[in-house]
Amino acid sequence: MRYLPLTNSDRGAMLSTIGVGSIDELFSELPSGEPDFNLPDCQSEISVERAMNAFARENLSCSDAPSFLGAGNYRHHTPASLDHLIQRGEFLTAYTPYQPEISQGTLQTIYEFQSQVALMMDMEVANASMYDGATACAEAAAMACRVTKRSRVLMSGAVHPHYRDVTQTQLKHLNLEIDCLAPDPIGVEDLIGRVDDDLACIVVQNPGFFGHLADLSQLAEACHAAGVLLVACVAEPVSLGLVTPPGAMGADIVVGEGQSLAGPASFGGPGVGLFATQEKYLRQMPGRLCGETVDADGRRGFVLTLSTREQHIRREKATSNICTNSGLIALAFTIHMTLLGEAGFTRLAEVNHANAVTLANKLSAIKGVTVVPQTFFNEFAITLPRAAAEVAEALASKGILGGVPVSRFYPRYEELANVLLVTATELTTDGDMDALVSGLGEVLS
Amino acid sequence: MTDRTDIETTSGNRGLSFEEPLIFEQDSPQSTAVDLEEPSHDIDRLGGLRRRSAVGLPGLSEPEVVRHYTRLSQKNYSIDTGFYPLGSCTMKHNPRLNEKMARLPGLGDIHPFQPESTVQGAYKLMYSLATWLKELTGLPAVALSPAAGAHGELCGIMAIRAAHQAAGNDDRKVVLVPESAHGTNPATAAICGYSVESIPGNGNGRVAVDALKARLGPDVAAVMITNPNTCGLFENEAKAIADAVHAAGAYFYMDGANFNAIVGLVTLSELGVDAMHINLHKTFSTPHGGGGPGAGPMVLSDALAPFAPVPFLVHDANGLRMAEHAGDKDAPQSFGRMKGYHGQFGVFVRALAYMMSLGIDGLRQASGDAVLNANYLRVRLSEELTPSYDGICMHEALFDDRFLKDTGVSTLDFAKSMIDEGFHPPTMYFPLVVHGALLMEPTETESKATLDQYCETVLALARKAKRGDMAEEFLSAPHLTPRRRLDETQAARKPILRWKPEPLKHAAE
């Protein structure tokens, strides 16, 4: 039992200091009789590694296959120094920075994270992060209702279906009305026409779930004229290196998923929720915030601040029940952004877009395949002549992870059965694209 | 203070303690630590939405970035560096095997929407974790997807509300919570549309069972109780409470924040529990990472299981598959989805690696050692400190500030002085039910030598405080840290929450 330092002689000495005869006596308040568990005893590292490797081998890793998967979870290159730095024990094994004198490392990284997120979104303030993009979206909708004192939320059909589902679940008991429009692959839904003055917010996503890019400026104007907040989701933050950010188009709250810049998909979790807004809404914002101050000697330092919004102070009156952020994943995100810098971030986004354009051209040359959105960043929907789920399965049997069938999210929409989401990133090679093109050709012939 | 600590240095650095500016103050425009090839072409399908201005990110090279974060890391206290007896947080050793396993390409580099035939190993791993959690708690179902403890609470209370709604009992509008509860409990109940009523303690650190029973009635939906509770005591009448709660038609929610004390020693089914969240980042050793990510799976009784959130695993002839849609045939009564994708898979890998490493015999020993360590602290520190309750505690020992009476030293000052001695302070001022609380949770992964050194240090500090002429040293502690006490009032009064480029900064002033 390599994780337990006490020896039997330590235990004996400690029990006699306490004045009891055995460890069992310490548990005399528990129901008597030891439960019977059908579980194995302790194992060596070697044995645990073997078992874990067996699980791993049954999966087809994206590192072993041309992969075009996205749908809110993107595979990008992770610089070697990033994974090294987040494994430093002083970051990895620290708690929430409640004692700022011995947590300046974590606190300064959060402050830098908040600064980077605000800049990327073109917003005034960002928080220290939330669980993931979907929960951040739900928190944004709830916040918009608090700010406007209205109770109706309208969600665009271009918002990630999980964001829509989580928002509906999380807000269902708050006497709010959540309207989700039908899925909108080509960006034709009329949002401006639905603005009215008892709506709290409209939630949109850019790039949309199906890839489409939208200019939000006119929608934002219409919203503001009616006292409605515009909430924009960004599921692929790499896009912000090239695409006009929601803040510059008038969004009031911008949320997103930071996973794509933080590291591998890890089967979808943990991620890191991004949350940014304007300063005037600060007191209604959920989640932790780190702020600058000075210490007793007048030197700059950082602390968690404005915690009077939070559950440990406000209890049932808090802005949210959340008491953690996604610290380590936020750290990975901020380190990657620092490694990239302005030049690297822009270049990364350009390479993603260029590869996606190339892929779109190659795919649209295949008979029966149509690229759906006119505009996109690194991901777009295509329609196939047959069910996308079957095609994805057939491609997987050829060792190609060819895309995400939309039916996985919208099984009840028959008109979406043939729609596949396809992504290209800086990791996508010409060889990968050729493999997909020839694989699709074979599967569809 | 000796003269040596007063030495001024030109650089601001002090030996191995470095001053480190913000990344924004180290900007060399055009520098980058990531070399990428040029894009293959510049054809644009952005529809006129190309970014018109720079993001404003600073440029640094790789050596500068590595040094920046290495220096920042050195300003952190961590479980790797030292003893972290933070009550209620279970700061135990984080095995590196867990990290290694989570980074296997077949576990780390897999996508949530691959065809299910290509991720059967991931499903089996999740199923294995679920089996461990169900077996250890004796409850028949588990929802893995909640992202943290508070998220797990939300899951449990939503399941309870869904069950009441299905039974036509949605007129139950009250959740009862003991006054010693974590703040997340009332916050969670409120988000689920419940009003919260506080149940008093019995004067001995436990729930006043008579008061609880008297309050039960047709308007009560659930009772949320932390067990072992936040005073470090086992609620020995848990089963009687559960029976009364059930007789009144309500559900019994147990907050599992303190599960580490009792793993392998009691099952929740014996205690009559309907729902409990399990903090994998506490009990099962996954790293806290400076504030997350965690995972808060929720175990559920038969009565609540049908209402579990999607996604969850289903067995069929082709193996395992994920039920992903509430209302479909696999999940007809599910209350919905709480989290994107399939939950905190990376945390699942780590927790399972830990459980397999310790095994049931090791988990039982770990609980025993955690409780032994806490009682050892309780007894040794009682020589100078004032324990809030008599008798044996569970995995954490609660003291109050009576020992500091008339010394001019507060709980906060005392805790800050522990920092100068190289120890992370215990949880302060929580639970709220005792005055000036110091809640110490040593966990099972500390040696007797560490505990002895800690006890001797804390006892010496207590004697120093009681001398009466040393208060000033406590009031100004810590002295030996990268920063002294920080002005939290100023931070809240004039919030500066991000770096701003110079012109903007002036405009704001």
**Domain residues of chain A, as ranges?**
62-78+341-444, 80-335
B residues 143-172 closer than 8 Å to A (CB): 147-151, 153-154, 158, 161
B493 touches chain A (CB under 8 A): no
Which residue, among B268, B205, B265, has the nearest Cα to B396 in the 3D structure?
A: B205
pLDDT of residue A33: 82
Whether residue B172 contacts residue B200, with contact meaning beta carbons closer than 8 Å, is answered with no
The predicted model gives B5-23 an average pLDDT of 90
Q: Note whether A291 contacts B262, CB cutoff 8 Å.
A: no
Q: Note whether A345 contacts B154, CB cutoff 8 Å.
A: no
CATH homologous superfamily of domain B368-491?
Aspartate Aminotransferase, domain 1 (3.90.1150.10)
pLDDT exceeds 70 at position B398:
yes
B507 touches chain A (CB under 8 A): no
pLDDT of residue B1: 45
pLDDT exceeds 70 at position B2:
no
- CA B400, CA B437: separation in Å to the nearest integer? 4
Residue with tokens 């909640």: B146
- Measured in angstroms, the CA of B332 and the nearest CA of chain A are apart by 15
Q: Note whether B40 contacts A358, CB cutoff 8 Å.
A: yes
Cis peptide before A270 (omega within 30 of 0): yes
Q: Note whether B340 contacts A114, CB cutoff 8 Å.
A: no
Q: Please report the ipTM that was assigned to this predicted complex.
A: 0.97
The predicted model gives B464-485 an average pLDDT of 95
Q: Which amino acid is at B264?
A: G
pLDDT of residue B180: 83
- Measured in angstroms, the CA of A191 and the nearest CA of chain B are apart by 19
What is the full DSSP assignment across B307-326?
GPPBPEEEEETTEEEEE--T
Pick the CATH number of B98-354 from 3.40.640.10, 3.30.1540.20, 3.30.360.10, 3.30.870.10: 3.40.640.10
Token pair for residue B83? 């003893």
Could you report the per-residue pLDDT of A340-349, keeping only the tens digit for each? 999 999 999 9
Mean pLDDT, chain B, whole residue set: 95
Measure CA B388 to chain center: 24
Q: In B, which residues are within 8 Å of A102 by CB distance?
A: 75-77, 419, 424, 478, 481-482
pLDDT exceeds 80 at position B504:
no
B508 touches chain A (CB under 8 A): no
Whether residue A393 contacts residue B63, with contact meaning beta carbons closer than 8 Å, is answered with no
The predicted model gives B252-258 an average pLDDT of 94
CATH number of A62-78+341-444: 3.90.1150.10
> SS3 of B276, please?
strand
The predicted model gives A115-142 an average pLDDT of 97
B residues 89-148 closer than 8 Å to A (CB): 89, 91-95, 97, 99-115, 117-122, 124-125, 128, 132, 135-136, 138, 147-148
Could you report the per-residue pLDDT of A158-173, keeping only the tens digit for each? 999 999 999 999 999 9
- CA A406, CA A420: separation in Å to the nearest integer? 6
Q: Note whether B32 contacts A341, CB cutoff 8 Å.
A: yes
pLDDT exceeds 90 at position A37:
yes
pLDDT exceeds 60 at position B391:
yes
Number of H helices, E strands in chain A: 14, 13
pLDDT exceeds 70 at position B271:
yes
Q: How confident is the model at residue A323 (pLDDT cuts 50, 70, 90)?
A: low
pLDDT of residue B183: 83
pLDDT exceeds 90 at position B161:
yes
Could you report the per-residue pLDDT of B38-93, keeping only the tens digit for each? 999 999 999 999 999 999 999 999 999 999 999 999 999 999 999 999 999 999 99
- The predicted model scores a pTM of 0.97
pLDDT exceeds 90 at position A34:
no
pLDDT exceeds 90 at position A272:
yes
DSSP state, residue B119: B
pLDDT of residue A245: 98
Angle between helices A8-18 and B448-467 (to 10 degrees): 30
CA geometry: angle B141, B143, B149, nearest 5 deg: 120
Alpha helices, DSSP H only, in B61-183? 62-73, 96-102, 105-108, 120-137, 149-166
**CA-CA-CA-CA dihedral for B253, B254, B255, B258, to nearest 10:** 180
The predicted model gives A88-99 an average pLDDT of 96
pLDDT exceeds 80 at position A128:
yes
Residue to substitute from B93, B420, B473, B497, interface A, most A β-carbons within 10 A: B497
Q: Note whether B89 contacts A95, CB cutoff 8 Å.
A: yes
**CA-CA-CA-CA dihedral for A333, A335, A340, A342, to nearest 10:** 80
Domain A80-335 -> CATH class: alpha beta
pLDDT of residue A325: 81
Could you report the per-residue pLDDT of A250-260, keeping only the tens digit for each? 999 999 999 99
- Measured in angstroms, the CA of B270 and the nearest CA of chain A are apart by 8
Q: How confident is the model at residue A64 (pLDDT cuts 50, 70, 90)?
A: very high
pLDDT exceeds 80 at position B226:
yes
Q: Which helix (H) or strand (E) holds A12?
A: helix A8-18
- The burial class, CB within 10 Å (0-12 / 13-18 / 19+), for B6 is exposed
CA distances from A340 to A78, A119, A132, A350, B486 (A): 11, 14, 22, 13, 32
Residue with tokens 């590292």: A45
Q: How confident is the model at residue A186 (pLDDT cuts 50, 70, 90)?
A: confident
pLDDT of residue B508: 47
pLDDT of residue A309: 66
Q: How confident is the model at residue B509 (pLDDT cuts 50, 70, 90)?
A: very low
pLDDT of residue A310: 65
Residue with tokens 């898979």: B345
Name residues whose C-beta falls within 8 Å of residue B56's C-beta, 6 or more positions apart in sequence.
A119, A342, B501
**Which residue in B33, B73, B264 is closest to A37 by CB distance?**
B264
- CA B253, CA B272: separation in Å to the nearest integer? 9
C-alpha dihedral sign at A389, A394, A397, A400: negative
Q: How confident is the model at residue A308 (pLDDT cuts 50, 70, 90)?
A: confident
The predicted model gives A224-229 an average pLDDT of 98
For chain B, the domains span 98-354, 368-491
DSSP state, residue B211: H
- CA B371, CA B391: separation in Å to the nearest integer? 13
Token pair for residue B123? 């499903």
Whether residue B94 contacts residue B285, with contact meaning beta carbons closer than 8 Å, is answered with yes
